[in-house]
């Protein structure tokens, strides 16, 4: 997407938010401006049709576009930089910035039922003594330095190519074994989210479409696991036929461990009814909210590994980090996506 189009959309958003503020106002220029997010999206689609179409060629929706822009908008007229958030009305009313009168109450209670687009000036850290422009220049430089450092220390593209090739091979073999193209083997876990370390295991999930599970209820019946995808012993037999080594069924975990002979990579495979893949998708969306989230999580994982803090899983560290960034900090770095209305394709959505 070209810079001119992106800038035009951002400038429109500023003007629309200023003109349609749903929050009470005061004399301070630092208080937030709030609009109904769906109304903003609708007006943008009508008033900037060409730019909106260009945006959709690169992003699924306006939300994705805004989340990848760094959550900062430069206002040429005021020569200042705005920060924006997208949050449910209930979250807005509970935000810590309400206590500091940065987020003022909304004019009508019904507005709290909507998803809101909030535009405000982020106060500078108390320990920083430079100008606002210098502060943002410094933070942008640090962000780029972090990205470069991450690339230098996680240059494992060759590993991913091999992993993808292995997953494709096992996927093809399983479809032949069970004569069912609707069964797919996909990478799950930290390798899927690209949060794995150099010595991480590979987790593979056998995905069965919900419609197929409904047709064959025996797949979910533990008494009928023999010679099915849910039987770790049967999976071990299939893997041995593929040439995999050290196959070890783990019935308690409903998965099978094996070793890829060429590289000695330790792998695990089991049936994923959708929950794990949905979980991975959720994590990937959080990583896209801010470029600094992924390096932070990887640094925490490396630190925990070097200090032999292995009692918790990677997923646990990810959850704690995301919780800290969205709920503990006085000025949250990321928003809580699960407070937004989203569609879940898993049969166990209530667990996510």
Q: According to the model, what pLDDT value does residue 351 have? A: 39
- The total of structural domains in the chain comes to 3
CA distances in angstroms from 328 to 11, 48, 100, 212, 324, listed in the order given: 31, 38, 16, 42, 5
Do 259 and 300 reside in the same domain of the chain?
no
**Among 73-77, 78-82, 147-151, 237-241, the least confident range:** 73-77
Do 297 and 343 reside in the same domain of the chain?
yes
Q: Is residue 146 part of a domain?
A: no
Do 104 and 17 reside in the same domain of the chain?
yes
Which two three-digit tokens encode residue 126?
């108390």
Please report how many Cα atoms fall inside a 13 Å half-sphere around the Cα of residue 193, on the Cβ side.
Answer: 27
Do 265 and 293 reside in the same domain of the chain?
no
Q: Reply yes or no on whether the pLDDT at 127 is more than 80.
A: no
Do 297 and 262 reside in the same domain of the chain?
no
CA geometry: angle 87, 146, 324, nearest 5 deg: 40
Q: Reply yes or no on whether the pLDDT at 70 is more than 60.
A: no
Do 301 and 236 reside in the same domain of the chain?
no
Residue whose tokens read 């003022």: 104
Alpha helices in the chain (DSSP H): 3-19, 37-47, 49-58, 62-67, 89-94, 132-153, 157-178, 190-193, 210-215, 232-241, 275-289, 293-306, 314-323
**Do residues 32 and 104 touch, judged by C-beta distance below 8 A?**
yes
Tell me which of 69, 103, 123 is where a domain ends: 123
Please report how many Cα atoms fall inside a 13 Å half-sphere around the Cα of residue 349, on the Cβ side.
Answer: 8
Task: Say what percent of the chain tops pLDDT 90.
Answer: 11
What is the maximum alpha-carbon separation in the chain? Answer: 74
Tell me which of 106, 123, 140 is where a domain ends: 123
Cα–Cα distance measured from residue 338 to residue 282, given in angstroms and rounded to the nearest whole number: 9
Average pLDDT over every residue of 18-31: 78
pLDDT in tens, 157-195: 667 778 888 889 998 888 887 776 678 888 888 888 888
Q: According to the model, what pLDDT value does residue 259 have? A: 92
Q: According to the model, what pLDDT value does residue 321 have? A: 92
Do 304 and 264 reside in the same domain of the chain?
no
Average pLDDT over every residue of 86-107: 79
Burial of 190 (0-12, 13-18, 19+ CB in 10 A): buried
Q: According to the model, what pLDDT value does residue 302 have? A: 82
Q: Containing domain of residue 237, as a range?
A: 157-273
How would you write 222-265 as a 3-class SS string? HHHCCCCCCCHHHHHHHHHHCCCEEEEEEHHHCEEEEECCCCCC
Do 245 and 295 reside in the same domain of the chain?
no
Do 119 and 9 reside in the same domain of the chain?
yes
Q: Reply yes or no on whether the pLDDT at 270 is more than 80.
A: yes
Q: Is residue 190 part of a domain?
A: yes
Which carries the bigger pLDDT value, residue 142 or residue 248? 248
Do 180 and 266 reside in the same domain of the chain?
yes
pLDDT in tens, 189-228: 888 888 887 778 888 988 876 655 555 544 444 445 455 7
CA distances in angstroms from 312 to 153, 268, 316, 317, 319, listed in the order given: 23, 18, 6, 7, 11
Q: Is residue 10 part of a domain?
A: yes
Question: b/e map of 110-119 (b: 16 or more CB within 10 Å)?
Answer: ebbebbbbbb
Average pLDDT over every residue of 229-237: 84
The two beta strands, 245-250 and 202-207, are: unpaired
- Mean pLDDT of the chain, nearest integer: 78
Between the two ends of the chain, the Cα-to-Cα distance in Å is 33
Question: Helices 314-323 and 293-306 meet at what angle, rounded to 10?
Answer: 130
Average pLDDT over every residue of 66-81: 63
């Amino acid at each position: 997407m070209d810079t001119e189009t992106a800038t035009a959309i951002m400038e429109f958003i500023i003007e629309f938010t200023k003109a349609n503020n749903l929050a009470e106002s005061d004399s301070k220029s630092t208080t937030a401006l709030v609009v109904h997010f769906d109304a903003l999206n609708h007006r943008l689609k009508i008033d900037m049709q060409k730019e909106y179409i260009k945006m959709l060629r690169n992003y699924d929706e306006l939300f994705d576009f805004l989340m990848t822009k760094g959550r900062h908008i430069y206002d040429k007229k005021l020569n200042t930089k705005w920060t924006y958030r997208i949050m449910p009305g209930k979250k807005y009313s509970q935000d810590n910035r309400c206590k500091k009168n940065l987020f003022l109450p909304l004019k009508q209670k019904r507005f709290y039922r909507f998803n809101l687009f909030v535009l405000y000036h982020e106060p500078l850290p108390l320990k920083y003594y430079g100008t606002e422009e210098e502060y943002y220049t410094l933070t942008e430089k640090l962000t780029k330095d972090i990205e470069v450092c991450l690339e230098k220390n996680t240059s494992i593209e060759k590993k991913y190519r091999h992993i993808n090739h292995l997953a494709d091979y096992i996927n093809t073999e399983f479809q032949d074994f069970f004569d069912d193209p609707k069964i797919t083997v996909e990478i799950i876990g930290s390798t899927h989210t690209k949060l794995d370390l150099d010595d991480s295991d590979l987790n593979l999930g056998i995905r069965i479409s919900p419609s197929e599970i409904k047709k064959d209820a025996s797949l979910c019946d533990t008494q009928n696991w023999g010679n099915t995808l849910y039987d770790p012993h049967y999976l071990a037999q299939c893997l041995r036929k593929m040439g995999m080594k050290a196959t070890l069924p783990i019935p308690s975990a409903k998965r099978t461990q094996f070793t890829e002979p060429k590289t000695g990579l330790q792998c695990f495979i089991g049936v994923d009814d959708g929950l794990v893949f949905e979980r991975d998708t959720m994590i990937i969306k959080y990583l896209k909210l801010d470029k600094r989230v992924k390096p932070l999580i990887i640094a925490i994982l490396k630190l925990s590994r070097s200090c032999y803090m292995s009692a918790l899983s990677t997923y646990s560290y990810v959850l704690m980090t995301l919780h800290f960034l969205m709920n503990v900090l006085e000025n949250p770095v990321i928003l809580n996506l699960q407070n937004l209305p989203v569609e879940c394709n898993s049969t166990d959505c209530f667990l996510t």
